[in-house]
Structure 1
Amino acid sequence: MTAATVVAEGLHRAFEAPGGGMVQAIDALSLTVRPGELTALVGPDGAGKTTLLRMIAGLLTPGGGRLEVLGTDVAAHPQRVQDRISYMPQRFGLYEDLSVQENLDLYADLHRVPQAERRPRFARLLEMTDMARFTARPAGKLSGGMKQKLGLACTLVRAPDLLLLDEPSVGVDPLSRRDLWAIVQQLVDADRLSVIVSTAYMDEAARCAQVHVMNRGRILASGTPGDLRARAAGLTFAAAPPPDMHPRTLQARLLGAPELVIDATPHGGAVHYVRQPQADDDALATLLGGAVTGPRAETLEDAFMLLLRQHEGHAEPALPDAAHEAPVTTPDPTKPIISVRDLVRRFGNFTAVASTSFEVMPGEIFGLLGPNGAGKTTTFRMLCGLLPATEGHLEVAGRDLRTARARARARIGYVAQKFSLYGNLSVRENLEFFGGAYGLRGKVLKERVREALARFDLEPDARSGLLPAGYKQRLAMATGLLHAPQILFLDEPTSGIDPLARRAFWRTITGLANSGVTIIVTTHFMEEAEYCDRIAIQDAGEMLVIGTPQEVREKAGAEDGADMNTAFIGIVEQARAHRATREAAA
């Protein structure tokens, strides 16, 4: 296996834009993918990662240039390539009414896998994915992480020479992500399989032998993770804010000075930032205020953000950092705005949420975390008044949800995990429709829509369903804020969004909290837990821990400065070990 797996030279691909004209998705792109290695494609939304993968898979024809896959001109002979590859797109097509085993059988039939090969192949796939116990379970009854593992198994029912994975871990919790990557790494190490993966997680890209950083259809840089990290050498620092300052406040201040700071993120109670190479030392010291600062080791994400900022220039963030409208009614800051006591939700004999209690104060950012299937979404839907509780007391915005659900919902904004607006309507039409649903009329509605279009930089006549993922999130956020709610519920709002867009999104969230809006957020990006005032971690319907990010790290036994990903995995694994011990004793 000495020949390159993929060779692209001067590759082009354009699409017709919704408003007319052409959009260059792939622009004079050249790269080489070596055989038997794990290769990553990283880049912001619209960088061209999915388009490139679809061309490699023979599903899109290049508009120009040369593209060879496994020694074959894919434009001339797409079927030859497709017979030797496996491709798992972002939305892999599982049949939810079929069982795990029936899905495997179906995909084996589609790929004409000989019967003699199926039994050993299935046995290995089920062992790798740890799903041998669930072969009779319908795919629709699996958790998000298990669905992704089943999708990967179905992709691998035949032995390919090249595996293409398009954002395989979107919407998957840290433990399931770890399992997915263990499977992929095993395939690379044991079978010398060539794998190309696009990902929004820089820690995943750091596992790869080669990383290609893309933006606007071009390759900005290629190399090993170490090669790319070296680009940020000497520019990376950690700043510990004063005791009375939340790390997200310092982060927002640093991101507001792009002439001095390239990037900044909360991390382990401090703020990790990347300074501009030519930043004025005195100006930077003034910006940092009383923060205690020291150098730290550079990461791949530091280099990624450095490359993007250099390519984009000092552009303003995608979402604004301006002052936000305060809620229509201001809650009493001394009383909880959400009060949950002994909350239980059952579906038949299955208990999705078991005796959960917590409170949220006005203006707080409260994170609800947990593995796939932990009961987060069920809890979330009960808090929003979308699902009645089986038992317990649930009060939101001063309203008991058992007796005044509609009145409570009037004070709530909601941004769903998946885009849930009307794709055939324009941006303006969606805003007007949902504004009317919230009770806005006449001049007030027109003014709110005008402000939302300007605040979120939205094109009013664009068709909503054709917007890029980042712009769909802007529209969903604008819709949820039209009626100036007291509480904003965000269900995995940054799932599938690149680090650049996530930074901008959280600057907006910080601004909302500063204006008095209470934020309840679920997320699988553990770095985002650092933005929260407090977080709660659930698993198997049980509340495992509630506290500030620092308190959660301490309860997990994590070292000082450890990231939240490590603390999260530690707490969940400890709880599962205790649960297993109790069940064995019973």
Structure 2
Amino acid sequence: MSHAERTIELKGVVKRFPDMEKPAVASLTVTLSAGGVIGLVGPDGAGKTTLMRMLAGLLQPSEGAVWVAGLDPIKDSGDLHALMGYMPQKFGLYEDLTVQENLNLYADLRSVTGEQRHQTFEKLLAFTALAPFTGRLAGKLSGGMKQKLGLACTLVGQPQVLLLDEPGVGVDPISRRELWQMVHTLSDEGMLILWSTSYLDEAEQCRTILLMNEGEMLWQGEPKTLTRQMTGRSWLMTSPDLNNRQLLQRALRQPTVSDGVIQGKSVRVILNQGAQADVLVLAQALALPPDHIAQTAPRFEDAFIDLLGGATAAESPLGAILHDVEGAPGETVIEARQLTKKFGDFAATDHVDFKVTRGEIFGLLGPNGAGKSTTFKMMCGLLVPTSGQALVLNMDLKTDSGQARQHLGYMAQKFSLYGNLTVNQNLHFFSGIYGLKGRRQRESIERMSQAFNLTPIARHNTDALPLGFKQRLALACSLMHEPDILFLDEPTSGVDPLTRREFWLHINSMVERGVTVMVTTHFMDEAEYCDRIGLVYHGKIIASGTPDALKQQAADAEHPDPTMEQAFIALIHQWDKEHSHGQ
């Protein structure tokens, strides 16, 4: 293979769209070569998908030149098509076709026939572990299996260049790890692979990264090089008097603090450059004893947030506009009793029990297809249990769902608002559903529009919004009637770390006012914000407790202090090992 066939070259590439003030991609000059996965990293709206689409020949640059494997993606589209595989952000396969039928279709499109087709399918089905599922409809696959099928179809023509646009979104940690193993194997075989992501743990898997924001490249190089620049600026704190949510809110108001997140029993803060000497002043300002603040190793995420200018907000406006929820601390407000849901003979949820108390954040974690979404939907009245009870404020959702729903707010996993309505029309519609009328409705729309910064985009069609704004709008709609209990089904799936921080500031602020939150997530750092976690697998809760308790359960000689992701994977594997003997 020639040098040109192993490179992507961009010279002064600009892409403008008529309805945007700033270019989506601004004057980008870079050469990328095969050998290790290349990460295209950045927050929502950074220009990652626009760049991918230009490389794939689906968009023409406004200025500059693009060469992929020595070819112009627009002029040489036919030749490039034979060399390139492109996996778009949205699942591009046919959900009403089986796994095998999707593979057949892609083989037809790539003119892969006869013995070559047979050998290609055999190799790809073994590679992706999809061989037992060839007869299953693509729409019935879990998120991780859909991504594996998407990758398999993309690889049918044996491409030399592979473009993967956010393939890890909505995929559980085990499936993401499997995807990465596959991609590293392909990279080792000489394929040029560009993987775009806003997941920062994925960025650390790349040989080199391009860090983009608002269309511009901020940094290029090895992830470790950027991380090392943060040495001495990452600290862990605990307070003898405040809970972590309160400590985080106070820490973010300090002028020396650039960023902060909850990390298990501690709060992790990043100090501004040059502020390391002020750490004792910070401890004093937060009334922390000196032994309650300690330096910790920097993470790539620390460097990423710092490069973007630090966290964008120190507190949520929701704290000032929401009412205090009445009720005794420690009282049970959500309860599952022997909760079971069967589809035919298959038990998606199998005799599940748990309780959630007032003002608590309870997280449901689990691999794709484990049963957490089924459990979650029964708890908020969207699915009727086969047996057992789902109780909210001691009301059975099977018999008192109307009354119970007045106390509930729900944000769906898949964006559930109306794309052809404007932001304002969605707010009107959903506030009306929750029974708000007249002056109360107008005031609620105004308050939520200000809290979530929706006023400047009030007349924009929802379909045209970036994902971060869509998620803000969805959360605003679920809070119109100021519910006591909030159900969030993967609320930050696919959004960037800055938007994720903003979301959790809102959630923490609500919980401090007494709101109870039940959340599902695939993002393991997000699980650290939960007071307690239930790990769902094969329809059962196989482990539960605080984030630190689950990490402790998974600790071993190899990982004495595991991350939440390592704990998740270890507990799943442990359960598999214990239950394989009886099979």
TM-score, normalization: structure 1?
A: 0.94
Q: Which amino acid aligns with 1:13?
A: K
The alignment status of 1:263 with 2:265, answered yes or no, reads: no
Partner of 1:294: 294
Do the aligned partners of 1:320 and 1:507 also contact (CA within 8 Å) in 2?
Answer: no
Instruction: Identify which range, 554-563 or 176-185, moves more after superposition.
Output: 554-563
CA offset digits 1:451-484 (Å, max 9, x no partner): 0111110022121111110011110011000001
Do the aligned partners of 1:331 and 1:397 also contact (CA within 8 Å) in 2?
Answer: no
Partner of 1:429: 425
Do the aligned partners of 1:324 and 1:512 also contact (CA within 8 Å) in 2?
Answer: no
Distance 1:574 1:282, change over 3 A: closer
Name the CA distance, whole Å, in 2 between partners of 1:104 and 1:287: 61
Do the aligned partners of 1:323 and 1:515 also contact (CA within 8 Å) in 2?
Answer: no
Distance 1:334 1:502, change over 3 A: closer
Question: What is the correspondence of 1:432-511 to structure 2 with a 5 Å cutoff?
Answer: 432-458=428-454, 459-511=457-509
Do the aligned partners of 1:268 and 1:560 also contact (CA within 8 Å) in 2?
Answer: no
The alignment status of 1:86 with 2:56, answered yes or no, reads: no
Shift of 1:282: 4.8
Do the aligned partners of 1:426 and 1:462 also contact (CA within 8 Å) in 2?
Answer: yes
Do the aligned partners of 1:340 and 1:394 also contact (CA within 8 Å) in 2?
Answer: yes
Do the aligned partners of 1:40 and 1:205 also contact (CA within 8 Å) in 2?
Answer: yes
Question: Aligned pairs, how many?
Answer: 573
Q: Which amino acid aligns with 2:407?
A: R
SS of aligned partner of 1:158: coil
Shift of 1:245: 3.9
Question: What is the correspondence of 1:312-327 to structure 2 with a 5 Å cutoff?
Answer: 315-316=312-313, 320=317, 322-326=319-323
Name the CA distance, whole Å, in 2 between partners of 1:56 and 1:173: 28
Distance 1:315 1:176, change over 3 A: closer
Shift of 1:324: 4.3
Name the CA distance, whole Å, in 2 between partners of 1:276 and 1:125: 48
Do the aligned partners of 2:316 and 2:509 also contact (CA within 8 Å) in 1?
Answer: no
RMSD: 1.8
Distance 1:78 1:229, change over 3 A: same
Give 5+ residue unaligned stretches, structure 2.
none
Q: Which amino acid aligns with 1:136?
A: G
Q: Which amino acid aligns with 1:408?
A: A
CA offset digits 1:162-218 (Å, max 9, x no partner): 0000000100000000011011011111x2111000012212111111101000101
Instruction: Identify which range, 48-57 or 81-90, moves more after superposition.
Output: 81-90
Distance 1:82 1:320, change over 3 A: farther
Instruction: Identify which range, 191-200 or 559-568, moves more after superposition.
Output: 559-568
Name the CA distance, whole Å, in 2 between partners of 1:22 and 1:243: 49
Do the aligned partners of 1:319 and 1:456 also contact (CA within 8 Å) in 2?
Answer: no
Name the CA distance, whole Å, in 1 between partners of 2:401 and 2:515: 20
Shift of 1:76: 3.0
SS of aligned partner of 2:228: helix
Do the aligned partners of 2:99 and 2:137 also contact (CA within 8 Å) in 1?
Answer: yes
Partner of 1:251: 248
Partner of 2:577: 577
Do the aligned partners of 1:425 and 1:463 also contact (CA within 8 Å) in 2?
Answer: yes
Partner of 2:565: 565
Partner of 1:2: 3
Partner of 2:538: 540
Distance 1:335 1:282, change over 3 A: closer
Question: What is the correspondence of 1:153-552 to structure 2 with a 5 Å cutoff?
Answer: 153-189=152-188, 191-239=189-237, 241-242=238-239, 245-257=242-254, 259-279=255-275, 280-290=278-288, 292-309=292-309, 315-316=312-313, 320=317, 322-326=319-323, 330-458=326-454, 459-552=457-550
Distance 1:318 1:138, change over 3 A: farther
SS of aligned partner of 1:297: coil
Name the CA distance, whole Å, in 1 between partners of 2:386 and 2:54: 50
Name the CA distance, whole Å, in 1 between partners of 2:267 and 2:330: 29
Name the CA distance, whole Å, in 2 between partners of 1:482 and 1:523: 23
Do the aligned partners of 1:12 and 1:28 also contact (CA within 8 Å) in 2?
Answer: yes
Shift of 1:428: 1.1
Distance 1:394 1:362, change over 3 A: same
SS of aligned partner of 1:122: helix
SS of aligned partner of 2:581: helix
Name the CA distance, whole Å, in 1 between partners of 2:531 and 2:484: 17
Do the aligned partners of 1:267 and 1:563 also contact (CA within 8 Å) in 2?
Answer: no
Instruction: Identify which range, 259-268 or 85-94, moves more after superposition.
Output: 259-268
Q: Which amino acid aligns with 1:173?
A: D
Name the CA distance, whole Å, in 1 between partners of 2:413 and 2:246: 26
Name the CA distance, whole Å, in 1 between partners of 2:571 and 2:241: 27
Name the CA distance, whole Å, in 1 between partners of 2:217 and 2:284: 36
Distance 1:334 1:22, change over 3 A: closer
CA offset digits 1:209-250 (Å, max 9, x no partner): 1101000101000001122222222322222x1355443433
Shift of 1:262: 1.9
Shift of 1:561: 4.1
Name the CA distance, whole Å, in 1 between partners of 2:137 and 2:280: 62
Identical counterparts, % of pairs: 46
Name the CA distance, whole Å, in 2 between partners of 1:288 and 1:504: 22
Shift of 1:504: 1.1
Q: Which amino acid aligns with 2:547?
A: P
Partner of 1:97: 96
SS of aligned partner of 1:7: strand
SS of aligned partner of 2:308: helix
SS of aligned partner of 1:488: strand
Equivalent of residue 16 in structure 1, options 3, 15, 18: 18
Partner of 1:41: 40
Shift of 1:319: 6.0
Name the CA distance, whole Å, in 2 between partners of 1:349 and 1:493: 31
Name the CA distance, whole Å, in 2 between partners of 1:499 and 1:284: 24
Instruction: Identify which range, 301-310 or 422-431, moves more after superposition.
Output: 301-310
